[in-house]
Amino acid sequence: MKKSSLGKPAKNVKPARVLPVKKGTEAPVAGTEGEAPEIKGARRGAKTPATLRGMKDILPKEEVYWTLMRRTAENLARAYGYNYIETPIVEEAGLFLRTLGKGTDVVDKEMYIFEGDEGAKICLRPEPTASIARAFIIHGMHSWPQPVKVWTMGPMFRHDRPQAGRYRQFHQFGCEVLGERDPSIDAELIVMAYNYLRDLHIPVQVAMNSIGNLEDRERYIVELVGYLRGKRSYLSEESKKRLHRNPLRVLDSKEEQDRVVVEEAPQIIDWLSDASRQYFMKVLEYLDELEVPYVLQPTLVRGLDYYSDTVFELLADVPAEDPHAGLALGGGGRYDGLVEQLGGRPTPGAGFGIGLERTMLFLKRQAEQDPARFHDSVSPLFFAQLGEQARRRALYLIEQLRRVGIVVYHNVAKSSLKAQLELAHKYGVSHALILGQKEVQDGTIIIRDMDSGIQEIIDEKKVEVEVRKLLAKDRG
């Protein structure tokens, strides 16, 4: 049997440092030092495999949020004429190492890299854009109607330090437009990202900047490095390192001591060529036209090498005292050199990615304030039965209802009516259908209002009609 190519991490890849997570902030994780965390469902003293640090199970109680996030993405993508694309989670490591750039956190310390067949380095994708650019080339999408507009959704992997809102496996919804360069495309993508979060009732602010073309950036970096060298002693240790490896990243630093230095730094916007400046002005004009509020953020550079011209982020617009104030929910930009860099024909591109775990933080908050909006019952009905004959008939009726699209909760393995009605209460259904020996013989069925306890006997043949009436009433 062939050995799994995902089995062995490449020798020359240094695993990222694993930092302890504050106790009580996460579900039990594997490899936690010290006392083994208590696992709710484990037998006393038994060893239970836990989730890895920075990885999370998506649980049934979260289904309502994931369904909403996916449906909202689907509707939005359809409304703007984007088609779905899904690239593999495992790719050649070179795809990202070549394009994202040395000196970026993702490449330097966050990639999950393994040894594949014949020693080739393969990885878990840290982001979707490079994969989509690869797909564009290998599927000859340049000959499709241009521009090619695609959307995607799925897990990404970064071996980063786990903390609130930062996981090692996380999910993104993303849109990409390849094959055309026009400020209206950038504006459309920004509107889409903004509308996505607005449709989910999450207030965001769009932060905008332009990092110009490669030459603009090279000239600017010379200027920036000159300035930062003069202030070196005021910079944090991390920024001192970044100053050599990737000076633009110093602008991104969250450290207060760096912020002070960065505030006075030369701004990239002043180093743009006329063409890039005009392009950026047009993007902003279109945003004004489309009534998308934005702020200019001269320090926004997005860090990855493949970006050019427009860059943007979507930041949570909540009061400053809120722990999530300013949290980046998503970001994106233009990447006109990416396809060519990967060996394709020169093809402009632009896109965005929105983090779904962070989006969900806000949805969960909304659910606390307005639980009705997130009522996640599959059905407002429960089917209870009593006695062997009734159980058989119940199975038949449940199947008939399912075939006409009516779903009911049930547990036909239970024989006690009391236990079944308790279950119905737990599901929070408004009505229960009850079938006993007598009802089977009479060809009837009981409908019980779970709140009032009032029961009504109906003809079994009318069950679908009656249930539809209840469903219509429940929907208001």
Q: What distances in angstroms separate CA 337 from CA 123, 126, 133, 342, 344, one per listed residue?
A: 23, 19, 10, 9, 10
**In the bound complex, what is the minimum distance in angstroms from residue 129's beta carbon to ligand AMP?**
8
Q: Is residue 471 a contact partner of residue 377, using CB atoms and an 8 Å limit?
A: no
CA–CA gap between residue 360 and residue 447 (Å, rounded):
37
Closest to ligand AMP by CB, 212 or 353:
353
CA–CA gap between residue 378 and residue 467 (Å, rounded):
15
Closest to ligand AMP by CB, 160 or 474:
160
Closest to ligand AMP by CB, 165 or 387:
165
Determine how many CB atoms are found less than 10 A away from the CB of residue 474: 14
The one-character DSSP state at 262 is H
Q: Is residue 411 a contact partner of residue 423, using CB atoms and an 8 Å limit?
A: yes
Q: Which two three-digit tokens encode residue 67?
A: 């369904």
**In the bound complex, what is the minimum distance in angstroms from residue 380's beta carbon to ligand AMP?**
35
Closest to ligand AMP by CB, 168 or 393:
168
Closest to ligand AMP by CB, 179 or 351:
351
**In the bound complex, what is the minimum distance in angstroms from residue 271's beta carbon to ligand AMP?**
23
Closest to ligand AMP by CB, 134 or 358:
358
**In the bound complex, what is the minimum distance in angstroms from residue 110's beta carbon to ligand AMP?**
8
**In the bound complex, what is the minimum distance in angstroms from residue 256's beta carbon to ligand AMP?**
22
**In the bound complex, what is the minimum distance in angstroms from residue 315's beta carbon to ligand AMP?**
9
**In the bound complex, what is the minimum distance in angstroms from residue 162's beta carbon to ligand AMP?**
8
**In the bound complex, what is the minimum distance in angstroms from residue 160's beta carbon to ligand AMP?**
5
- Does an H or E element contain 71, and which? helix 63-79
Q: Is residue 429 a contact partner of residue 414, using CB atoms and an 8 Å limit?
A: no
Q: Which residues bind ligand AMP (CB under 6 A)?
A: 127, 158, 160, 165-167, 170, 172, 328-331, 353, 355, 357-358
Q: Taking each helix axis from N to C terminus, what angle separates 274-289 and 183-199, rounded to the nearest 10 degrees?
A: 40
Closest to ligand AMP by CB, 180 or 252:
252
Q: Taking each helix axis from N to C terminus, what angle separates 237-245 and 214-230, rounded to the nearest 10 degrees?
A: 140
Closest to ligand AMP by CB, 160 or 223:
160
Long-range contacts of 63-71 (CB under 8 A, 24+ apart): 63/376, 64/367, 64/374, 64/375, 64/376, 65/360, 65/363, 65/364, 65/367, 65/374, 66/356, 66/360, 68/200, 68/363, 68/374, 69/173, 69/200, 69/356, 69/359, 69/360, 69/363, 70/153
CA–CA gap between residue 228 and residue 235 (Å, rounded):
8
Q: Taking each helix axis from N to C terminus, what angle separates 388-403 and 463-474, rounded to the nearest 10 degrees?
A: 60
